Amino acid sequence: MKQKSFLLCVAFLLWVAHFSVQAGDISVSSTDFWANTGFHVEKGRHYHIAVKNMADVWDSKIPVRDLGGWPSPLAKILYAPLFWMRRRPLDPWFSVIATVDRRHPCRLRADRDYVAPASGELVCYFNDAPFAYANNKGTAVLSIVQSPRIPCCEK
Ligand SMILES: [Ca+2]
């Protein structure tokens, strides 16, 4: 009887772990070439990522307050010819790029979930020129919430 109760308890805990939702805050320093977040993602899972605080993030004298990067239309126009200098040339200046263990780079967006392309640690960076991190200031705090599993929709 005790063994049956124990097995039921283990099965219940595994079931809870399978359907539990991972959530927390991560920090992305604008001066880090690779910002390790300590947050582990799971391949194929969806994550909603939102800005919690970016009040002190600057690229030199340009304030950055959301995942989309530079807000200034003038700066975007002036620096457009230098797009090829960005680590991710086709993503905006100072947009936030997510990787899994420094692989599978993908721009984070406020209007859509991030779908983890692999399992591992979420490592992020601001999309700057590789040599231009010294004039960056501040750290972004992002909230991240793993979407719950929907058994009927998963393979
Ligand atoms: Ca910079």
pTM greater than 0.75: yes
Torsion sign (Cα): 62, 67, 72, 76: positive
50 CA distance to ligand 1 middle (Å): 22
26 CA distance to ligand 1 middle (Å): 21
Kindly compute the dihedral angle of the four CA atoms of residues 71, 75, 80, 81, in this order, to the nearest 10 degrees: -160
Closest CA to 108 of 87, 94, 120, 129: 94
Q: What is the pLDDT of residues 23-51, one digit of tens each?
A: 899 999 999 999 999 999 999 999 999 99
DSSP H helices, 20-128, are 73-79
- Return the domain boundaries, the chain: 22-148
- Ion ligand 1: residue ranges with CB closer than 5 A: 59, 128, 132, 135-136
CATH number at 22-148:
2.60.120.430
Q: Pairing between strand 139-146 and 23-29? A: antiparallel
pLDDT < 50 stretches in the chain: 153-155
